[in-house]
Chain A
Amino acid sequence: MTRLLSVCTVVVLLVVATVGGLGHGAPAVQRGGRLTFALRGDAVTLDFLLSTSPEDRIIYRAVYDPLFEIDENLNVVPWLVERWDVSPDGKVYTFSLRRGVKFHDGTDLNAEAVKINFDRILNPANRSPLRADMASVQRVDVVDSHTVRVALSEPFAPFLSILTDRNGYIVSPAAIERHGRDLSRNPVGTGPFQFVEWVKDDRITFRRNAAYWRRGEPFLDELVFRVVPDDTVRLTMLRTGQVDLADWVDPRDVRKVKASPHLAIYEVESFGFDMIRLNVSRPPFDNKLVRQAFAWAVDREALRTVAYRGTGSAAVGPIPPRMWAFDSALRAYSYDPNRARALLQQAGLPGGVSFALQVRNVPLDQTRAQLVQQQIAAAGLRASIQLVDIGTLLGNLRTGAFEASQSFWSGRVDPDGNMFRHFHTSAIQGGTNFMRYSNAQVDRLLDRAREITDVNERRRLYAEAQRFIVDDAPMIFTNYFPVLKAASKRVQGLKVLPDPSILSYREIWLQR
């Protein structure tokens, strides 16, 4: 009897344990397998030194580790750097590097490697677009084998956040030496995956870095990026199982993904915004009244419901609600065509104005442009849409060969990345101030916000700068768009951040 009782007890305990085990806790990680990720476009270069493309950024996280990382709560945390220190005046940073980290070619990550990487960006002969963000870096010194000291000319608040991206990646100095220019096709980093091959306009393949410094990670054996420019094709490939993860889901397809039992949609508020740049250096938008008329004539709520199918929100300025610097008191433009018409009258243009609106030749952008076109026409702003490819669009922005140009900004973790490069006078040359906008007060505020680290004071400065920018209206802010990615439900451990181009591949695993 006692024996029977004890057997029963054991059986009951076992059952409870099993059921409890099934019901609680995260499912155990399964290792191995290949993840295929469909991107909108091919990489331009696998050497971040000369990169400006968003697709490049998505791929870099597989092969390179940054000095600092953004965690799930959007804090900047040390990564290849183990500890860091900044002098009281905010001008000297000391980085202690993690020990035992090796590049894929077997060489060590050390202070010398970091210095070589920084100097490579800073060397004017290399013409790196990353240099603009590092303008305040004066010198980089090796203190000992794993300690680097960086001296800045003035305090630069966004410095660490900039090192979470292209500026903070470290490529093997031995590979720089060996490959030279061909580094763009032979990336060698310390990241979770090791480069295998790049078939232009088709795929880029990586395999697991068995010697990754985070023991046990990554979980996947292979990571493949496929180039699939068409939204519909990308989604179809996901639905038929040819790929496991799809970038940039068109908002119109969100319902379709949600309806599928095998797919999951990842929707995250972004740091970015949709906008229309107005060229303030030539008519008709050299007139502030005309620009303000444009801003009043856009029905942002209709854009949100029709183009974005109710996702995202109406934009008020360059700092979206997701950011700590968001200013809820910012007076924004609402939809008021009468007011727009009155402003045109005031500008001495009762008959309205005609201009060309350059638009990237992709479905969502065409939809956005056609909606705006009809909305502003009611106020007397006659836009003719010009569909162009992304290369032409960017080229015309650079040379100033445009009147109005529709685009978006993917956003950065520090508000400086959404402000300085677009609105500071110095960013007309070498930045993305394609509007040729210049306002001395905005310059002063943005400069000051870079120099101090006090978050509340910076928030106040950005709020003030935004008021000037919104009033001057060199850029029409239309929507805060969500980051939308779709994945097979097999994909586990995927974290989508407000920055659409940053994914931590090391944590992803596939359920079998």
Chain B
Amino acid sequence: METTVHLAERVARYPRRAARASWLIRFLRRNPVVLAAAGALAVITAAGILAPHLAPHDPAAQDYSALLTSPGQRHLFGTDHLGRDLLSRMLFGIRVSLVAGLASVLIAAAVGLTVGAVAGFWMGWWDTATMRVVDALQAFPILVLATALNAVLGPGLGNTIMAVGVVYAPSFARLTRGQVLSLRHREFVEAARALGMAEGRVLVRHVLPNILGPLIVFASVSMATAIQIEASLSFLGLGVQPPTPSLGAMLREGYPYLESASWWPLLTGTLLAGLILCLNFFADGLRDLLDPRLQGRR
């Protein structure tokens, strides 16, 4: 992940636009797992976005005459203990997972990038102060810290997103600071300074664009775990409040029925695990794609 490459080197190494497309295709052909993961992700994301149009039933509508019906024609994935259509709930649940994952990572990246870039570029007391805070936050296991924060903020999707964002911000700050630190005295940065460019401009125009690769890779890995944490918090009842469907909350409600209505926890669990697995494979591929040193070998 230590992508510290001179701008000029990048230009020289990256193929031009047309060539880049064919190179991407070649990359995907050589990595069928990444291709499959990207495809599955695209399908899941589309299903989540189009949930209101795809869902055969209202995800919150209860039907007392159809409690715990097994998968069949009327309910493709069966129903839960309140007679709610599980397929519809899963489609809407995907939405919650994706929104939570994306939003919390964006918050973490925005906060972490700002704090880390300033700390790494100017050093001084700001660096010392923020990095001690980062140390303190990173001393906690992620899930424990997120649970505690969520409990303090109160239940709800917004608060869960905030909690996960806060928990991940230190990692982004650390990563950004390290990257900025390694670039701040490189020739192209010094050159920009020598030309009389203001410090802030140097940071934004010359340093930041060169550290985006590792940040994007880290963001995609974080998104997988962020979704997992959102599901864990919802499982504990801290996330999305009922009756809004969330994969974690559906697992919590469903797992006591593992024997009597196994399709419910199994289908929900499979979808959640599949989503996270795909994101991880995808992030893996992204890393290979963006890591210049690996590119050389391919």
Which residues from chain A sit less than 8 Å from chain B, CB to CB? 231-232, 250, 252-253, 255-256, 302, 305-306, 361, 363, 366-367, 369-371, 373-374, 384-388
Find out whether the CB atom of B82 lies under 8 angstroms from the CB atom of A387.
Answer: no
Which residues on A sit within 8 Å (CB–CB) of B255? 232
Which residues on B sit within 8 Å (CB–CB) of A256? 259-260
Interface residues of B in 129-145 (CB under 8 A from A): none
Which residues on A sit within 8 Å (CB–CB) of B82? 306, 367, 370-371
What sequence of 0s and 1s flags, for each residue 217-257 of chain B, a beta carbon within 8 Å of any chain A beta carbon?
00000000000000000001110011100000000110111
Which residues from chain B sit less than 8 Å from chain A, CB to CB? 60-62, 64, 67, 81-83, 154-155, 236-238, 241-243, 252-253, 255-257, 259-260
27 A–B contacts, CB within 8 A, in A order: A232-B256, A255-B260, A256-B259, A256-B260, A302-B64, A305-B64, A306-B62, A306-B81, A306-B82, A361-B236, A361-B237, A363-B256, A366-B237, A367-B82, A370-B243, A371-B82, A373-B242, A374-B60, A374-B62, A374-B243, A385-B242, A386-B154, A386-B155, A386-B241, A387-B237, A387-B242, A388-B155
Find out whether the CB atom of B60 lies under 8 angstroms from the CB atom of A384.
Answer: no
User: A494: shortest Cβ distance to chain B, in Å?
Assistant: 25
Give complex CA distance A306, B66 in Å: 10
Find out whether the CB atom of B67 lies under 8 angstroms from the CB atom of A306.
Answer: yes
Which residues on A sit within 8 Å (CB–CB) of B64? 302, 305-306
Binding site secondary structure of chain A: helix
Give the residue name and chain of the B residue nearest to A299 (CB): B64
Give complex CA distance A387, B238 in Å: 7
Which residues on A sit within 8 Å (CB–CB) of B83? 306
User: A392: shortest Cβ distance to chain B, in Å?
Assistant: 9
Give complex CA distance A374, B244 in Å: 12
Which residues on A sit within 8 Å (CB–CB) of B241? 384-387
Give the residue name and chain of the B residue nearest to A301 (CB): B64
User: A356: shortest Cβ distance to chain B, in Å?
Assistant: 10
Give complex CA distance A255, B67 in Å: 15
Which residues on A sit within 8 Å (CB–CB) of B253? 363, 366-367
User: A401: shortest Cβ distance to chain B, in Å?
Assistant: 12
Find out whether the CB atom of A370 lies under 8 angstroms from the CB atom of B260.
Answer: no
Give complex CA distance A256, B81 in Å: 15
User: B254: shortest Cβ distance to chain A, in Å?
Assistant: 10
Give the residue name and chain of the B residue nearest to A360 (CB): B237
Give the residue name and chain of the B residue nearest to A305 (CB): B64
Give complex CA distance A388, B62 in Å: 23
Give the residue name and chain of the A residue nearest to B259 (CB): A256
In the complex, which of the residues A231, A250, A252 has the most CB atoms of chain B within 10 Å of its own CB atom?
A252
A302-B64, A305-B64, A306-B81 known; A252 vs B237 contact (CB < 8 Å): no
Give complex CA distance A426, B81 in Å: 41
Give complex CA distance A341, B45 in Å: 41
Give complex CA distance A384, B60 in Å: 13
Give the residue name and chain of the A residue nearest to B82 (CB): A370
What are the 10 tightest A-B residue pairs by CB atom distance, in nearest-first order?
A: A361-B237, A387-B237, A232-B256, A385-B242, A385-B241, A370-B242, A370-B243, A374-B62, A387-B155, A302-B64
Which residues on A sit within 8 Å (CB–CB) of B252? 363
Which residues on A sit within 8 Å (CB–CB) of B236? 361
Give the residue name and chain of the A residue nearest to B243 (CB): A370
Give complex CA distance A361, B242 in Å: 11
Give the residue name and chain of the A residue nearest to B151 (CB): A389
A231-B256, A232-B256 known; A385 vs B81 contact (CB < 8 Å): no
Which residues on A sit within 8 Å (CB–CB) of B154? 386
User: What would 13 more interface pairs be, CB under 8 Å, given A367-B81, A386-B154?
Assistant: A256-B259, A256-B260, A306-B82, A363-B256, A366-B253, A367-B253, A369-B242, A370-B62, A371-B62, A373-B243, A385-B242, A387-B242, A388-B155
Give complex CA distance A386, B157 in Å: 12
Give complex CA distance A385, B249 in Å: 13
Give the residue name and chain of the A residue nearest to B256 (CB): A232
Give the residue name and chain of the A residue nearest to B258 (CB): A232
User: A136: shortest Cβ distance to chain B, in Å?
Assistant: 42
Give complex CA distance A255, B61 in Å: 26
User: B256: shortest Cβ distance to chain A, in Å?
Assistant: 4
User: A370: shortest Cβ distance to chain B, in Å?
Assistant: 5
Give the residue name and chain of the B residue nearest to A306 (CB): B64
Give complex CA distance A187, B99 in Å: 53
In the complex, which of the residues B61, B237, B238 has the most CB atoms of chain A within 10 Å of its own CB atom?
B237
Which residues on B sit within 8 Å (CB–CB) of A370? 62, 82, 242-243
Report which of B81, B155, B238, B243 forms a contact with A252, defined as CB distance below 8 A.
B81
User: B84: shortest Cβ distance to chain A, in Å?
Assistant: 9
